[in-house]
Amino acid sequence: ERAADAYTLAIRFDSQTKNYKLYYDGQHYVGDKRFDTVHDLVADGLIHFYVELKASDYIASLSNESNYAESPYLAYTDKRKRLHRSRKSVNSKRLEFGEQSQGSSGSANGSVQQQYLDDELDSIDDVEKYEKAHNFKTQNFIGLHWCDFCANFMWGLIAQGVKCLDCGFEAHKKCSEKVPNDCLPDIKFVKNLFGADLTTVVKARNTPIPVVVEKCIKEIEHRGLEVEGLYRIAGLHDEVESIRMAFDKDGENTVISESKYDDINSITSVLKLYFRLLPIPLITFEAYRIIIDTMKQDEPRSRTQIIKIKEGLSKLPPAHYQTLRFLLAHLNRVTEQKATNMMGSDNLAIVFAPTLMRCPEPDPMMSLMNAQFEQKALETMLVKFRDLFSRMSTTQNFEANAKRPSFDALRISDQTPHFDKV
């Protein structure tokens, strides 16, 4: 029996009558495409029938015989990559930790010197190589458009193909299924920093660390490490919103200095908000399951547990891994001042666990039960930072770590910081 909102559409083409169920929900449709009028739907259908009748074999061979290596899109992407590399010296300067701080706040020696973090500089060359799937969405093209994969015309009245919302790649729907995960996002398509995918943001701006994370941590280490309740006390809502909108509008040109925002808690709140709004959490669901399982099953901070946590971290996308390591190194510097800021690794874990980790299960009771394990996991990552983020395999003898420099080597000081490369 026909549904109340369904009708029958009969189209006669090539001496044959074809019957379709026609639906209406404000627009008319028989499949994925929706039309304002039945006349537009029929016209698009007739175009589809005609193309299939006259060129079905050719259409079927379009994507199969196309050479992606010779496509116009790949040539354009290679040109953009060369442009990104030419800007390396400019982008690397964004990883500086600013001018020398005045006063007693900042690092333990009362100042924060202008320094590069060697690991982040090394990873700049690899940012463009981060694997990222295209964010395709069905598109209504106006005018004549050709597929960036097969270089053939995209026919139809509406929904002629798909377009990547992050880089602008246009293709037939079938062709898009054969495109590799090589999206190189363009800033003009990535309009906001907050709420945007982390890998998309770092690839669009060609920097291993998101500008929000980098600038906020720089400012916090410049003047806030000794502030009591750092990260625990919330900032003013209006200031937090003002900073968020400034980052979305101005990006790396955003000014968050003390002269403009004197409450350091507003800066820390912005940093937490950025991680909270990530569509994919910093510690992804795949890594989450491995890490939480070992927190439930294995002896706390045992060799076995460290190995499994490191295995979980290895599942993180490169942009997530680099950002997490950058953040945890900073939080360890916060804990070094716990005598004055009252924020040890346990307190920071309570604050950051729900921000960096999200239970993939929809059951709220499961999320509640996992909360304690999330906190313990993050606290372990802070305490065992060296073991988890070093190049040395955790399957080797951890006693060798005792010969390594202390965490002071990671401090931003007058000396070039030591940071084990991953």
Q: What pLDDT, on a 0 to 100 scale, did the predictor assign at position 153?
A: 85
Pick from 70, 40, 59, 72: nearest CA to 145: 72
What share of the chain in percent tops pLDDT 70?
Answer: 75
3-state secondary structure of 136: strand
Task: Please report which confidence band the pLDDT of residue 368 belongs to, taking 50, 70 and 90 as the band edges.
Answer: very high
Structure tokens at 286: 């795949």
Please state the rounded mean pLDDT for residues 375-382.
97
Q: What pLDDT, on a 0 to 100 scale, did the predictor assign at position 279?
A: 96
> What are the start and end residues of each CATH 1.10.555.10 domain in the chain?
96-127+209-410
Selected residue with higher pLDDT from 240 and 157: 240
Diameter of the chain measured on Cα atoms = 88
Quote the pTM value.
Answer: 0.72
Selected residue with higher pLDDT from 113 and 33: 33
**Is the separation of the CB atoms in 319 and 202 below 8 Å?**
yes
Just give the CATH number of 69-86+131-190.
3.30.60.20
DSSP state of 373: H
d(CA 308, CA 57): 52
Residue 422 has pLDDT above 50, yes or no: no
> What tens digit of pLDDT does each residue of 179-202 get?
888 888 988 888 899 999 999 999
How many Cβ atoms are within 10 Å of 47's Cβ, its own excluded? Answer: 14
Q: How far is CA 296 from the centre of its chain?
A: 28
What share of the chain in percent tops pLDDT 90?
Answer: 46
Report the helix count and the strand count for the chain, using DSSP H and E. 16, 6
- Which residue, chain included where needed, has tokens 């005598």? 339
Q: Which fold has domain 96-127+209-410?
A: Phosphatidylinositol 3-kinase; Chain A (1.10.555)
Task: Please report which confidence band the pLDDT of residue 333 belongs to, taking 50, 70 and 90 as the band edges.
Answer: very high
> What are the start and end residues of each CATH 3.30.505.10 domain in the chain?
6-65
Q: Which fold has domain 6-65?
A: SHC Adaptor Protein (3.30.505)
3-state secondary structure of 164: strand
**Is the separation of the CB atoms in 134 and 179 below 8 Å?**
yes
Residue 128 has pLDDT above 80, yes or no: no
What does the mean pLDDT of the chain come to? 81
3-state secondary structure of 369: helix
Residue 358 has pLDDT above 50, yes or no: yes
Question: How far is the CA of 177 from the CAs of 133, 135, 172, 181, in angstroms?
Answer: 11, 12, 9, 10
Residue 348 has pLDDT above 70, yes or no: yes
**Is the separation of the CB atoms in 336 and 382 below 8 Å?**
no
Selected residue with higher pLDDT from 133 and 67: 133
> What are the start and end residues of each CATH 3.30.60.20 domain in the chain?
69-86+131-190
Selected residue with higher pLDDT from 31 and 302: 302
Q: What pLDDT, on a 0 to 100 scale, did the predictor assign at position 71?
A: 67
**Is the separation of the CB atoms in 243 and 255 below 8 Å?**
no
Three-class HEC string of 256-290: CCCCCCCCHHHHHHHHHHHHHCCCCCCECHHHHHH
Please state the rounded mean pLDDT for residues 241-255.
95
How many Cβ atoms are within 10 Å of 199's Cβ, its own excluded? Answer: 22
Task: Please report which confidence band the pLDDT of residue 282 belongs to, taking 50, 70 and 90 as the band edges.
Answer: very high
**Is the separation of the CB atoms in 59 and 51 below 8 Å?**
yes
